[in-house]
Amino acid sequence: MTNGRQEKDNGFPKRLALLHYWNALLVALLVFSGLLLFSSSWKELLGEAKIWIKWLHIMIGLVSILPVLAYLGSAVRHWQLLKGKPWQRLHIIVVLLLVMGWFISGVLLWQFQAMGPGVSNAALLAHDVFVWLGLPLFLYHSLTKLGRLKEPRRHQSQGFGRFYTRKDFLRTVIGAGLAISVVPALIKWIGDLGSGPEFQAVNKEGTNQLLPAPQPSADSAPPVGGGASGSFRSYSVTRLPFFTNDNWLFTINGLVEKPITLNWEEFVALKRSVQVSNFHCVTGWSVYNNTWEGIPLKELLEKAEVKAEARVVKLYSGDSMYTDSLTLQQADMDDIIVAVLHDGQPIPKDLGGPVRLIVPQMYAYKSVKWLNRIELIEEDHIGYWGQRGYEQDAWVQG
Ligand SMILES: Nc1nc2c(c(=O)[nH]1)N[C@H]1C(S)=C(S)[C@@H](COP(=O)(O)O)O[C@H]1N2
Ligand SMILES: [Mo]
């Protein structure tokens, strides 16, 4: 009996150390994959791979609850051991709350889209707040531990720790963190070396330098418009394209009686209208009360005289990569707009300027940025995100 009891006592700290190890490893992987998903510069570099990283992030997130559940079985005993160590007790509570918060908000984001943007907005906000609370703590904990740890005594360690010590682990964490923050800037810098000063000058501007600048109508300002709330997260699956009067053209062709090609001067001269709407990304963020000024898609299609056999409106981005489509019936909705101004300002380059589509009643992946071509076709076309598993009909629920 006594023997068994002793063995159990030795086993307990080991069990805790193992749980701590798994928790640290999983949190580190979640932090890194999460940062990759969050950062706009990585989005441009990752393109396609973003889908896989997101999958990985979700799967690791699901697994990350296991060490927590396993710990809960030992929590009472551990709690008693920590008598007189209030800081360690607080640390345990904070880590448990963070992991639970991440987990629950993550599951809501992943599985509860059908409950509409309200729920997703709240879940994403919670997910972000937990990150901005948890990340500094995670870094602080890693750094102070790294400073205090004795040099590894490899011959005394067992198992994995023999060749990969805690210190090695912490070094990997810090190294990977640095790499994640520095690599995109480095790649961009190398990319820019290959291009002339002209490109760099244009590319650094926040807006495209197309002239004449579009003049906002009165309705783009208050009381009708001009009051968006929330902030856009800039998404692109390529490096940001840039346009000047020389390389920008807008085309409508395919199954139409009167194909249209307009240069910038002709395009800004078209009659515009104003429309106020909410903008929802399927990943959980929204921007409310946007004032878009531009040409209703419907009017452009009428001008081009769509042929009877056309069924689908294919939308092309000037980034030469991104496309999406609407059925002709969907494209007939009055609020779809080929937008030039947002809240009375030219649409910034990173938000799809000079011209982007806005489809208010659908998730924003239908709202093609840098729109410069509309083709009328007979067969279906599955767009960039549709090919990667998102709904072809992207109606916003709720
Ligand atoms: N060309 C292009 N258009 C695009 C995207 C893109 O990556 N490239 N992302 C879509 C998605 S998923 C969203 S949520 C919105 C984001 O718009 P924003 O970058 O202006 O915030 O643009 C949509 N249109
Ligand atoms: Mo999106």
Please spell the DSSP secondary structure of 23-47, one letter per residue.
HHHHHHHHHHHHHHHH-HHHHHHHT
Confidence (pLDDT) at 345 = 94
Are the C-beta atoms of residues 312 and 379 closer than 8 Å to each other?
A: yes
The pLDDT of 103-130, averaged and rounded, is 92
Confidence (pLDDT) at 143 = 79
- The residues facing 273 across adjacent strands are 294
Domain end (from 192, 218, 241): 192
Q: What is the pLDDT of residues 344-395, one digit of tens each?
A: 999 999 999 999 999 999 999 999 999 999 999 999 999 999 998 888 899 9
Query: How high is the mean pLDDT of the chain?
Result: 88
Q: Same domain for 167 and 310?
A: no
Q: Same domain for 124 and 243?
A: no
Question: Which pLDDT band holds residue 203 (cuts at 50, 70, 90)?
Answer: low
Q: What is the pLDDT of residues 246-275, one digit of tens each?
A: 999 999 999 999 999 999 999 999 999 999
Question: Which pLDDT band holds residue 4 (cuts at 50, 70, 90)?
Answer: very low
Most confident of 175-184, 200-209, 383-392: 383-392
Q: Return the number of other C-beta atoms located less than 10 Å from residue 240's C-beta.
A: 16
H or E element in which residue 202 lies: helix 197-204
Ligand 1 in contact with 233 (CB < 6 A)? Answer: yes
Q: Which of 365, 387, 390, 396 to probe ligand 1 with, by most ligand atoms within 8 A of CB?
A: 365
Ligand 1 in contact with 322 (CB < 6 A)? Answer: yes
The per-residue DSSP string of 80-145 comes to: HHTTT-HHHHHHHHHHHHHHHHHHHHHHHHHH-GGG-HHHHHHHHHHHHHHHHHHHHHHHHHHHHH
Q: Is the pLDDT of residue 10 over 50?
A: yes
Cα separation of 174 and 143, whole Å? 8
Question: What percent of the chain stands above pLDDT 70?
Answer: 88
Domain end (from 130, 158, 192): 192
- Residue 377 domain-assigned? yes
The pLDDT of 118-145, averaged and rounded, is 88
Cα(305) to ligand 1 centroid in Å equals 28
Q: Is the peptide bond before 354 cis (omega within 30 degrees of 0)?
A: yes
- Residue 203 domain-assigned? no
Confidence (pLDDT) at 38 = 86
Q: What is the pLDDT of residues 312-348, one digit of tens each?
A: 999 999 999 999 999 999 999 999 999 999 999 999 9
Q: Is the pLDDT of residue 155 over 70?
A: no
Domain end (from 157, 192, 227): 192
**Nearest-atom index, ligand 1, CA of 318:** 1
Lowest mean pLDDT among 39-43, 66-70, 327-331, 385-389: 39-43
pTM listed for this prediction:
0.85
Ligand 1 in contact with 208 (CB < 6 A)? Answer: no
Q: Is the pLDDT of residue 80 over 70?
A: yes
**Best CA proximity match to 231, nearest among 303, 264, 279, 176:** 279
Q: Same domain for 39 and 186?
A: yes
- Domain count for the chain, please give it: 2
The CA–CA distances, whole Å, from 42 to 131, 156, 179, 185, 193 equal: 18, 41, 12, 9, 19
- Pick the residue whose CA is nearest to atom 14 on ligand 1: 281
Q: Which of 237, 367, 387 to probe ligand 1 with, by most ligand atoms within 8 A of CB?
A: 367
H or E element in which residue 325 lies: strand 323-327
Domain CATH number, residue 156: 1.20.950
Q: Same domain for 242 and 152?
A: no
* Residue labelled with tokens 């009996």: 1
Q: What burial class does residue 206 get, using C-beta atoms within 10 Å of its C-beta: 0-12 exposed, 13-18 middle, 19+ buried?
A: exposed
- Greater confidence (41 vs 204) lies with 41
Q: Same domain for 17 and 163?
A: yes
* Residue labelled with tokens 């640095």: 178
Confidence (pLDDT) at 141 = 82
Confidence (pLDDT) at 353 = 93
Q: Same domain for 244 and 383?
A: yes
- Pick the residue whose CA is nearest to atom 2 on ligand 1: 369
Confidence (pLDDT) at 2 = 45
Alpha helices, DSSP H, located in the chain: 2-38, 40-46, 49-63, 65-72, 75-81, 86-111, 117-148, 166-193, 197-204, 264-268, 297-304, 328-331
- The residues facing 254 across adjacent strands are 376
Q: Is the pLDDT of residue 1 over 50?
A: no
- Residue 394 domain-assigned? no
Q: Which residues surround ligand 2, an ion (CB under 5 A)?
A: 281, 364-365
Question: What percent of the chain stands above pLDDT 90?
Answer: 61
Question: Which pLDDT band holds residue 132 (cuts at 50, 70, 90)?
Answer: confident
- Residue 395 domain-assigned? no
**Best CA proximity match to 226, nearest among 292, 271, 272:** 292
* Residue labelled with tokens 């000037």: 318
- Residue 398 domain-assigned? no
Torsions phi, psi of 25, nearest 5? -65, -50
Q: Same domain for 33 and 117?
A: yes
- Residue 199 domain-assigned? no
Q: Same domain for 136 and 273?
A: no
Q: Same domain for 236 and 98?
A: no
Confidence (pLDDT) at 263 = 98
- Note down the domain range covering 130: 2-192
Domain CATH number, residue 263: 3.90.420.10
Cα(174) to ligand 1 centroid in Å equals 32
Enter the tokens of residue 354: 């000079």
Q: Is the pLDDT of residue 128 over 80?
A: yes
Q: Is the pLDDT of residue 160 over 60?
A: no
The CA–CA distances, whole Å, from 346 to 46, 97, 253, 317 equal: 28, 44, 26, 18
- The residues facing 373 across adjacent strands are 251, 316
Q: Which residues 6+ apart lie within 8 Å of 251 measured at CB?
A: 259, 260, 261, 262, 372, 373, 374
Cα(85) to ligand 2 centroid in Å equals 46
Q: Same domain for 112 and 216?
A: no
- Residue 233 domain-assigned? yes
- Residue 245 domain-assigned? yes
Question: Which pLDDT band holds residue 189 (cuts at 50, 70, 90)?
Answer: confident
Q: Same domain for 249 and 290?
A: yes
Q: Same domain for 162 and 258?
A: no
